[in-house]
Structure 1
Amino acid sequence: MTHAIRIERAGGPDELRWTDVEVGAPAEGEVRLAQTAVGLNFIDVYHRTGLYPLELPTGLGLEAAARVEAVGPGVTDLKEGDRVAYASAPIGAYAEARLMPADRLVKLPEQIDDSTAAAMMLQGMTVQYLIRRTYRVKAGETVLLHAAAGGVGLIACQWLKELGATVIGTVGSDQKAELAKAHGCDHPIVYTRENFVERVKEITDGAGVPVVYDSVGKDTWDGSLDCLAPLGLMVSFGNASGPVPPVNLGVLSAKGSLFVTRPTLMTYIAKRADLVASANELFEVVRSGAVKIEVNQSYPLAEAAQAHRDLEARKTTGSTILTV
């Protein structure tokens, strides 16, 4: 018998239950994992609340580092004892042990420890697809990044600086502004007292930016569009403040023939080759020291509810892990 976090119905953090579960032997193409650290991400909140509906009852979590305990028939590239990590479906990372499709796992380099891996896979591969594929940022460009002091934000600030970009980032406090600046954000904007649209216009001499990366959603949508240069791209990849309302396409025309996309990591890594390429590029920038993963909070897995409360209250910075 082992343990996992389960939910019986959508709702608040109190719906998270520490439950006894049975984990059987791996089937064709599967491995059994003994998990060591689990990543906490805002998508977990969306799943828990029902914003992204799941079939209930269910586990939670999409990201973890683990050791292979057993391999099922047909699995040839993994063996017992291998250190691996993942950031993809099926849901259920909040667990001491679990079964996982082998083709969703990547082997961890020796230089990257389990806590770092659990903290970086989903957020780091999210940054990779955002700045290398959705909009391929080039040296000399200026970009706007919301939530610059969060887990995705701190990784993105560092990676963007490595690419030679100028980073404008919104944050909620002076402390978070200092944190973002220390990680490569050239122009942190404290949105609680500064109008970020006006500041972006000032910083860019009225030109606006070619791309906005927005994980906040409803509260920043209109302002983000106003920060874009003509033909600019609005990348809406999260809903921390709530879902974006229905979009009037005429607004995009009036504001300069703008483009909008709503990407997800799961689409970008659906193919095994894309998953491996994304993970390898992430491993390289971390191993080189260009990107440092900040694990600023750690909670026992059994206390996942408190971790969710702190995440939703914006008490966290950088990355958070749940320890097994």
Structure 2
Amino acid sequence: MRAIVVSATGGPEVLTYTEHPDPVLNPGEVLVDIAAGGVNFIDVYQRMGRYPLSLPFVPGNEGAGTVAAVGEDVRGISVGDTVAWANVMGSYAEKAVVPASHLVAVPDGVTADTAAALMLQGMTAHYLTHSTYEVKPGDDVLVHAAAGGVGLLLTQIAKLRGARVIGTVSTEEKEKLARQAGADEVIRYGGFSEAVRELAGSGVHVVYDGVGAATFDGSIASLRPRGMMALYGQASGPVPPIDPQVLNKGGSLFLTRPTLVHYIATRDELAWRASDLFGWVASGQLQVHISHRYPLAEAARAHEDLEARRTTGKLLLIP
């Protein structure tokens, strides 16, 4: 099969499109012909070596496609089914072997492209709004990078739960997308904490921050007493160590650094989040903005565009 292989960590140029051995199917696993693989910042961190992996490796942490073969001891999954997954490496390829326990069935009314676009970012938005901080009607919510892949989904889901959403963006084009997703207020990053205070008085109930170093201090300053800072990513770089006394001074604040693997730790959690997301898409309550589809061979260009912040919404690789 053809795949993207990383043999040495570094820039986008280390993403090599090449022939690679077909994955071996073991008991409890399913072989999938990949229709689309999602591109995420975690792929960038792994490519750079910020999140070290054994070399060489095939990147990609989510995808969707058609079941080509089923291993021993697999029940409830058949050849020809459309399935999707997250948190399993190897979706930058034509084929992948995925543990059956990590797969979800893609229902009629949801395309494989949409499923691939939803699995990592959609379930991230779901756990942030339903579990990390359970958004309630009337809550004020600050969503950074509101026109990004997670940001657009976070905005829509927070609105479904009755929140007022304040989104940050960097351009007029991104502002339009954030407003289309339902953001009540859209502001620029410069001086955003002051703008938030003007809009939300004592501050917001929760900040969803996937940007990291560049926004962290302002995010803390945007919270009301006993507010929640959910730092779920670090697109601008890691946050330096902080003195916990900062949380005291801000009003007994809460700080968490969540990640998806701990919020789909059981089969029931995975099924719940995927079912909600697919149901909202099928009913028209959730729109998935796929801004770019790249041929698999152009994975390096996808990473360049993502890192340069030239994109909005979701990026997919198509084998």
Normalising TM by the smaller chain, what interval?
over 0.9
**Deviation of 1:156 (Å):** 1.2
Identity across the alignment (%): 50
Select 1:137's aligned residue among 135, 138, 143: 135
Structure 1: 4+ residue segments shifted above 3 A: none
> Which residue in the other structure is 1:257 paired with?
252
> Which residue in the other structure is 1:44 paired with?
43
> Which residue in the other structure is 1:127 paired with?
125
Contact 1:174 1:190 in 2 (8 A): no
**Deviation of 1:25 (Å):** 4.4
> Which residue in the other structure is 1:307 paired with?
302
- The code of the aligned residue for 2:191 comes to N
1:105 aligns with 2:100: no
Question: For residues 5-154 of structure 1, what are the structure 2 equivalents within 5 Å?
Answer: 5-89=4-88, 91-154=89-152
**Deviation of 1:292 (Å):** 0.5
Structure 1 CA distance, aligned partners of 2:229 and 2:270?
24
Structure 1 CA distance, aligned partners of 2:34 and 2:42?
20
Structure 2 CA distance, aligned partners of 1:312 and 1:157?
22
TM-score, with length taken from structure 2 = 0.98
Structure 1 CA distance, aligned partners of 2:69 and 2:149?
32
Structure 2 CA distance, aligned partners of 1:14 and 1:132?
38
> Which residue in the other structure is 1:225 paired with?
220
> Which residue in the other structure is 1:216 paired with?
211
**Deviation of 1:24 (Å):** 4.6
**Deviation of 1:246 (Å):** 0.6
**Deviation of 1:270 (Å):** 1.9
Structure 1 CA distance, aligned partners of 2:9 and 2:209?
25
1:296 aligns with 2:291: yes
What are the Cα deviations for residues 108-144 of structure 1, in whole angstroms up to 9, with x where unaligned? Answer: 0010011111111111100000001100001111100
> Which residue in the other structure is 2:198 paired with?
202
What are the Cα deviations for residues 31-81 of structure 1, in whole angstroms up to 9, with x where unaligned? Answer: 111111111111111111111111111110111111111011100111111
**Deviation of 1:283 (Å):** 1.0
Structure 1 CA distance, aligned partners of 2:153 and 2:249?
33
Structure 1 CA distance, aligned partners of 2:132 and 2:24?
39
Structure 2 CA distance, aligned partners of 1:127 and 1:175?
22
- The code of the aligned residue for 1:97 comes to K
Structure 2 CA distance, aligned partners of 1:204 and 1:101?
45
- The code of the aligned residue for 1:41 comes to N
Contact 1:85 1:118 in 2 (8 A): yes
Select 1:234's aligned residue among 225, 229, 232: 229
Structure 1 CA distance, aligned partners of 2:13 and 2:140?
42
Structure 2 CA distance, aligned partners of 1:22 and 1:32?
13
> Which residue in the other structure is 2:166 paired with?
168
Structure 2 gaps, min length 5: none
1:246 aligns with 2:244: no
Alpha-carbon spacing, 1:210–1:223, altered in 2? closer, same or farther (3 Å): same
Alpha-carbon spacing, 1:322–1:24, altered in 2? closer, same or farther (3 Å): closer
Structure 1 CA distance, aligned partners of 2:156 and 2:229?
21
Secondary structure (helix, strand or coil) at the match of 2:167 reads: strand
Structure 1 CA distance, aligned partners of 2:160 and 2:67?
34
> Which residue in the other structure is 1:280 paired with?
275
Secondary structure (helix, strand or coil) at the match of 2:67 reads: strand
Secondary structure (helix, strand or coil) at the match of 1:58 reads: coil
Contact 2:140 2:204 in 1 (8 A): yes
Secondary structure (helix, strand or coil) at the match of 1:180 reads: helix
TM-score, with length taken from structure 1 = 0.97
Contact 1:237 1:262 in 2 (8 A): yes
Secondary structure (helix, strand or coil) at the match of 2:220 reads: helix
**Deviation of 1:171 (Å):** 0.5
Contact 1:44 1:60 in 2 (8 A): yes
Contact 2:23 2:95 in 1 (8 A): no
Structure 1 CA distance, aligned partners of 2:177 and 2:268?
35
